[in-house]
Amino acid sequence: MILFIFAQFTLAESLFSNNYYNLALIEYKRLFFFDTTAQKNLQLRLHYTMAVLNQDFFKGYEETDKLFNDFPEIDIESRIILGKELIKTGNYNIAIDILKPTQEKRLLAYSYLCNRQYSNAFKEIQVVDENLAKEIKNFINGPEKSLTKAMLFSAILPGAGEMYAGNVKQGIQDFLLTSLSGFILYNSIKNKKYVDAGIIFSFVFNRFYFGSISNAGRIAQSHNEKLEEKWLNYIKNRYF
């Protein structure tokens, strides 16, 4: 039995180290079944949790919680190892909570960055990397397009918000369509065709006018998201 358990241990750890997480999970479960004391081994449980994280987010979250319940005094090194795995699998919120008690400020800052918590990232990194801290601060204070301004500009002058947000072609198109529908509405009222005016106002002018406002907000948001994604990729490639 001892030889069998040792073989299971070796096989599970070998599969894990070679990133065969699905197969490793099977062997870990088999090991835990035949040797219940193995579940009290921190390294085995840590590796098992990391394997689960790579297979299923929700089960990985549950297993991480169980790990800290069973090992409340988990050491700093294990926290860092697990934190890196959580970052790799995109579980940034959990990684942040696990890494906070450590002194790995750079890794914690990276978790905050990936989670779009730039002010927190700046606080963590400013004591270890002045250049990166400056990059983050510049981005926080950078030329982001305001959704409120974009929508307000188009409310005042249809198309203006789209141009402000960076899409001149869409702005011109919305301006022309709204202006044309407004002109037709004006003519209907001028000629006392109030029924036609009501239809034009409800189904044409309103559509183009409020569509312009909506487009302005959407374009501004899209611009900001692209800018943010480009900046994040640059930061990751240069500093991490």
Q: Over the stretch 142-185, which tens digit does the pLDDT of each residue have? A: 878 999 999 999 999 999 999 999 999 999 999 999 999 999 99
C-alpha–C-alpha distance, residues 173 and 161, integer Å: 12
Q: Among positive and negative, which fits the CA dihedral 4, 10, 15, 21?
A: positive
Radius of gyration of the chain (CA): 28
Instruction: Please report the DSSP string for 203-223 in residue order.
Output: IIIHHHHHHHHHHHHHHHHHH
Supply the pTM of this predicted model.
0.77
pLDDT string in tens for the chain (240-residue length):
666 677 778 888 999 999 999 999 999 999 998 888 999 999 999 999 999 999 988 898 899 999 999 999 899 999 999 999 999 999 999 999 999 999 899 999 999 999 999 999 999 999 899 999 999 999 999 878 999 999 999 999 999 999 999 999 999 999 999 999 999 999 999 998 988 889 999 999 999 999 999 999 999 999 999 999 999 999 999 998
Please report which helix (H) or strand (E) contains residue 148, including its range: helix 147-156
C-alpha–C-alpha distance, residues 182 and 160, integer Å: 16
Burial class (CB within 10 angstroms; exposed 0-12, middle 13-18, buried 19+) of 107? middle
What is the 3-class SS of 68-133, one letter each residue? Answer: HHHCCCCCHHHHHHHHHHHHHCCCHHHHHHHHCCCCCHHHHHHHHHHCCCHHHHHHHHCCCCHHHH
C-alpha–C-alpha distance, residues 61 and 50, integer Å: 10
Can you tell me which residue has the tokens 């002194």? 103
Residue 102 tokens, joined: 């450590």
11 contacts: CB under 8 Å, gap ≥ 6: 27
C-alpha–C-alpha distance, residues 107 and 92, integer Å: 11
Asked if 25 and 52 count as a contact pair (C-beta separation under 8 A), the reply is yes
217 contacts: CB under 8 Å, gap ≥ 6: 147, 150, 151, 161
C-alpha–C-alpha distance, residues 125 and 105, integer Å: 6
State the Cα angle at 182 between 180 and 185, rounded to 5°. Answer: 115
Residue 46 tokens, joined: 């840590």
